[in-house]
Amino acid sequence: MSAPTVSRTVGLLLLLVFLALTPGLAAQSSSATTSTASCYLDDGRQVYLRYVPVATNKEKISNGKPMIPGGVPMTLFTEAQLSLGSSVIPVGAYTVYPIPARDHWTLAVNKNVTPGATYDEKQDVARAPMETAQVAQPSDALEIAFAHVGERCTLRVYIGKTASFADFTAK
């Protein structure tokens, strides 16, 4: 099978996983509207993250506790094998948990994508520190974006006056 055919096959499989998970996630939070942030690698493979863009005045952020906006974990879908810190993340679907702290944040990528499951640190496939900074203009809602440079997708998380960043690098 050629590389473009494999890439399309993997993309189709990820789409099927996404469609299979969507009804269960909708049942968790029927009023939650989701947003998606995407990153396209140079070879056409995609990395994207689905999340609930909660209002900052309605979401309590607790230091040391995984952030689960709107009660629904963020979901990462990747068509490429990635590295985060020193860990390798295989192609597939994962839940993503930013974990805030007073002076730094941590990003946990977890293999449990079962709707309604609680966060279990033992199922993390990757965990890495996030760069954290304060921004002059606070955001009114959780904002997620990717910045793309070469084979790297930098996840950007903005909430209130905090901005946190983590690099995913394609293998």
Radius of gyration of the chain (CA): 16
Cross-strand partners of 93 = 77
Amino acid at 140: D
Mean pLDDT by 10 residues, the chain (171 residues): 51 44 42 89 95 90 94 97 98 98 94 94 98 93 94 95 96 89
The pLDDT value given to residue 103: 83
The pLDDT value given to residue 1: 55
Cα(11)–Cα(8) distance, integer angstroms = 5
The pLDDT value given to residue 90: 98
* 113: enclosing H helix or E strand: none
* 9: enclosing H helix or E strand: helix 3-28
Instruction: Please indicate, yes or no, whether the overall pTM of this predicted structure exceeds 0.85.
Output: no
